[in-house]
Chain A
Amino acid sequence: MVRSARQRLLAFLAQLALAALIACALAWLGQNVLDNMRERGIRAGFDFLVEPAGFDIGEGPLAFEASQPLWRAFLAGTLNTLRVGLPAMLLASALGLLIGLGRLAQHPVPRRICDALVETLRNIPLLLQLLMCYFALASLLPDASHALAPAPGVLLSQSGLFLPAWRCEDSCGWSWPRVDGFGIDGGWALTPEYMAVLIALSLYTAVFIAEIVRGGIQSVSRGQIDAARSIGLRPAQVLRHVVLPLALRAIVPPLGNQYLNLIKNSSLAVAVGYPDLVSVANTSLNQTGRAFECIVIVMAVYLSLSLLTALLVNTFNARVALRGSP
């Protein structure tokens, strides 16, 4: 498109005006924040991060207790977000693949079951599924002193799922969970809050992944499959060596979007009291009154996680894409 110098100048001035308008709006909002804070005697700044948190965090890879500074609480919260997000990604991918293949099955019964599963789960809000899942866990499992022992060294109760763990404190060795006092001590604990978030998040994301898998496989042209059959590959081999690698190209980009959604959706953990980043930020916000700062931290962390996920998916995508394909 050819544009005259006058049009270009006008466009430039319009942009300048827009920039000025936005700058003014931001300045106005910023001034309001400062005025409001001064008027109400609210302090501002990130200095509160070095103060002791005052609250404990019940679980997570990073042990945290009340006397430690708040920034460590945010770190523990972020790690808790990843602790549930990463396994959920794996689980959702595996389940999604299974359901997606199930919807393409020749046999009507498994196909219908998978169809029904997808149509049910994708049309109900994740939050509701999460609450239901947590309620079901809480009301179905026995209390800690009557814990189920589905396998030796494994305890399952309302306090959670306890697995043996390899611990190195003074000396290294297996730590076995055992009923002690009023709860279960030792081992590796997965609380009901954690399990509820993991299960609900994985199932919900899995049905969306299933749709992507189905679409991806359907995009593989019939000729490829016939060719593979004609050289004598068994159906499983056709799937493994021909269909899936080809489908992967169509699957990876939207799959990346689902991973992004999963990470963001993990923030719903706050509803069942799993101490993820949002939950920790929410508590800190309430204890310190630093609403602005806490929300900024949460957004910054999620943005970084989103960017990181997008980067990884893009890198992976570049590797699976066919060389020379458009």
Chain B
Amino acid sequence: MKAPRPSTLAWLALFALLAWPVFDWAVLQAVWPADLEACRAARGSGACWGVIAEKHRILLFGRYPYDAQWRPVLATVLIVAVLVAGGLRRIRHGWQVGLALALLVAAVVLMRGGAGLARVPTNQWGGLPLTLIVSLGGTLLAFPLALLLALARRSQQPFLRGLATVYIELVRGVPLISLLFMAAFLFPLLLPTHLRIDILPRVVLTIAGFAAAYLAEVIRGGLQAVPAGQFAAAQAIGLTWRQSMQFIVLPQALRVSLPALVNSFIGIFKDSSLISIVSLHELTGAMSIALGGDADWRSFYLEAYLFIALIYWIFCFGLSRCARGLEARLRH
């Protein structure tokens, strides 16, 4: 064991100099209970985590009816369970995929009501379950379209290929916000008056259409990674185009593109924060209704931001680890 180099000490000193005030503010001087007076007194020297204690329900569940909040809690647990099972690669067989999707549908039903539960209109949904439903629902709905787009873009039919290319490039060329504005302001004009679709499904469909363009490119990458011989061999043993795709090419292509698909999902998960701009109160939006209308607690925005950021971070970090794990497995 040799003595640390002087440069190490200098670096550590610098690190401590940066980290100490943060640690002091966030832990040592912090106020933990929901005590407004104590928080005000600690202003500037310590964090007020009491704001989380006070507002955690609105931060996590938005305006969802107070006495029915076991429903978003349970819905969140279901969705997180599915995500964790998927991340740990426990979902392998067809029936397990079916079960996972059934649980997701159950989560949506829990939120929405019906089947004996009181209906809760979507504009009262909010917080973490909404973030999860929008991002996961958007991705799952995007997947079939993405598959078709990827196949079409590699098709030999010029019109089909052109159509897929135009769609993908068009969607990838514009910001998600402009598409969300379209969902908010334009969708109602595009449909006949008697067909009125709620804003949440409009936004989920828009995110699905947006995600499909990105997922399609990922799947296309996977398709390109499958050696041409595979398809030729499949044809040679007499399989039709559909059969060769379904049994030979796609399984390989999807396996190759799985890590990138997970990364795309992380992107969509983060992008779902944008729906707060069209006034759906997912995590980011829930924070503004939690603190915006309360003059007493409003000054502790920073703590609430950090809390929300931590939630996003846990999900994204966990998922990116899982993508890395998949990648490592592929290399073997």
In their complex, do chains A and B touch, with some C-beta pair under 8 Å? yes
Is A36's beta carbon under 8 Å from chain B? Answer: yes
> When A278-B175, A278-B177, A298-B178 are in contact, do A125 and B189 touch as well, CB less than 8 Å?
no
Known contacts A15-B160, A29-B190, A270-B277: does B308 contact A128 (CB below 8 Å)?
yes
Closest B residue to A16 using CB positions: B159
Contacting pair A299 B313 (CB below 8 A): no
Chain B residues near A15 (CB-CB < 8 A):
157-160
What sequence of 0s and 1s flags, for each residue 119-160 of chain B, a beta carbon within 8 Å of any chain A beta carbon?
Answer: 000000000000000000000000000000000000011111
A301 CB → nearest B CB, Å: 9
In the assembly, what is the distance between CA of A70 and CA of B163, in Å? 34
A135 near B190: Cβ-Cβ < 8 Å: no
> Does B186 sit at the interface, judged by CB under 8 A?
yes
Does B317 count as interface, using CB distance less than 8 angstroms?
yes
Q: Which residues of B are found within 8 Å of A1, using beta-carbon distances?
A: 156, 235
Contact indicator A18/B160 (Cβ below 8 Å): yes
CA distance A178 to B317 in the complex (A): 47
CB distance from A127 to the nearest CB of B (A): 4
Given A32-B190, A36-B189, A123-B317 contact (CB < 8 Å): yes
- Verify if A110 is at the interface (C-beta below 8 Å from B): yes
With A32-B189, A109-B12 in contact, is A128–B309 under 8 Å at CB? yes
CA distance in complex: A33, B186 (Å):
9
User: Smallest CB–CB gap between A109 and chain B, Å?
Assistant: 4
CB B189 to nearest CB in A, in angstroms, measures 5
Determine if A302 is an interface residue (Cβ-Cβ < 8 Å): yes
Partner of A120, one of B12, B192, B313, B320: B313
Instruction: Say yes or no: is A311 at the interface (Cβ < 8 Å to chain B).
Output: no
The answer on a CB contact under 8 Å between A278 and B12 is: no
- Knowing A124-B309, A285-B185, say if A270 contacts B177 (CB, 8 Å): yes
Contact in complex: A282, B15 (CB < 8 Å) = no
Task: Find B302's partner among A22, A136, A260 (CB 8 Å cutoff).
Answer: A136
**Contact bitstring B156-195, A, C-beta under 8 A = 1, else 0:** 1111100100000010111111100110011011111100
How many Å from the CB of A219 to the closest CB on chain B?
Answer: 16
Contacts A124-B313, A270-B177, A302-B178 given; indicate if A135 touches B305 (C-beta within 8 A): yes
Q: Say how far A262's CB is from chain B's closest CB, in angstroms.
A: 11
Q: Is the pair A299, B192 in contact by a Cβ cutoff of 8 Å?
A: no
Pick from B185, B192, B308: contact of A32, CB below 8 A: B192
Q: Are A32 and B191 in contact (CB under 8 A)?
A: yes
Of B190, B271, B276, B284, the residue contacting A33 (CB under 8 A) is: B190
Q: A268 with B177: in contact, given A120-B313, A124-B309, A291-B185 (CB under 8 Å)?
A: yes
Number of interface residues of A (CB under 8 A): 52
Q: Does A90 contact B (CB under 8 A)?
A: no
A282: nearest chain-B partner, CB-CB: B181
Take A127-B276, A135-B301 as given contacts and tell me if A264 and B175 are in contact as well, using a CB distance cutoff of 8 Å.
yes
Shortest beta-carbon distance from B20 to chain A in Å: 14
Q: How far is the CA of A122 from the CA of B309 in the complex (A)?
A: 11
With a cutoff of 8 Å between Cβ atoms, the chain B residues found around residue A131 in the complex are 284, 305
In the bound complex, residues from chain A placing their C-beta under 8 Å from that of B11 are 107, 109-110
CA distance A298 to B182 in the complex (A): 11
Q: Does A292 contact B (CB under 8 A)?
A: yes
A149 at the interface (CB under 8 A from B): no
| Chain A residues within an 8 Å CB radius of B176 | 264
Cβ-based interface call for A295 (8 A): yes
Report if A132-B185 is in contact (Cβ < 8 Å); known contacts: A268-B177, A295-B178: no
Q: Which residue of A lies closest to B158 (CB)?
A: A15
- Docked pose: A132 CA to B273 CA in angstroms: 14
* CB neighbours of A291 from chain B (8 A): 181, 185-186, 189
Taken residue by residue from 288 to 303, chain A's Cβ proximity to chain B (1 for < 8 Å, 0 otherwise) reads as 0001100100110011
Contact partner of B8 among A22, A107, A306, CB < 8 A?
Answer: A107
Q: Does A267 lie at the interface of the complex (its beta carbon under 8 Å from any beta carbon of B)? A: yes
Contact B157 A36 (CB under 8 A): no
In the complex the two chains form, is A302's CB within 8 Å of B189's CB?
no
Q: Please, how many angstroms separate the alpha-carbon atoms of A18 and B305 in the complex?
A: 48
The reply on B274 being an interface residue by CB < 8 A is yes
**Separation of A119 and B270 alpha carbons in the complex (Å):** 14
Q: Does A169 contact B (CB under 8 A)?
A: no
Q: Which residue on B lies nearest to A133, using beta carbons?
A: B305
Report chain B residues within 8 Å CB of A126.
270
For the complex, give the distance between the alpha carbons of A18 and B186 in Å.
25
* Smallest Cβ-Cβ distance to B190: which chain A residue: A29
Q: 1/0 per residue B280-322: CB within 8 Å of A?
A: 0000100000000000000001100110110011001100100
Contact between B174 and A303 (Cβ–Cβ < 8 Å)?
Answer: yes
B193 touches A39 (CB 8 A): yes
CB distance from A218 to the nearest CB of B (A): 15
Query: Do A124 and B316 form a contact, CB below 8 Å, given A109-B12, A131-B305, A271-B277?
Result: yes
Contact flag A292-B189 (CB < 8 Å), given A109-B8, A271-B277, A278-B178: yes
6 A-B residue pairings within 8 Å (CB atoms): A35-B192, A109-B14, A123-B270, A124-B270, A127-B274, A132-B306
Q: Which residues of B contact A (CB under 8 A)?
A: 7-8, 11-12, 14-15, 156-160, 163, 170, 172-178, 181-182, 185-186, 188-193, 235, 266, 270-271, 273-274, 276-277, 284, 301-302, 305-306, 308-309, 312-313, 316-317, 320
* Known A32-B189, A32-B192, A302-B173; 13 more pairs at CB < 8 Å: A1-B235, A11-B156, A15-B159, A109-B15, A123-B313, A124-B312, A127-B284, A128-B273, A128-B309, A129-B309, A278-B177, A298-B178, A298-B181
A residues touching B (Cβ–Cβ < 8 Å)? 1, 11, 14-15, 18-19, 22, 29, 32-33, 35-37, 39, 107, 109-110, 113, 119-120, 122-129, 131-132, 135-136, 139, 260, 264-265, 267-268, 270-271, 278, 282, 285, 291-292, 295, 298-299, 302-303, 306-307
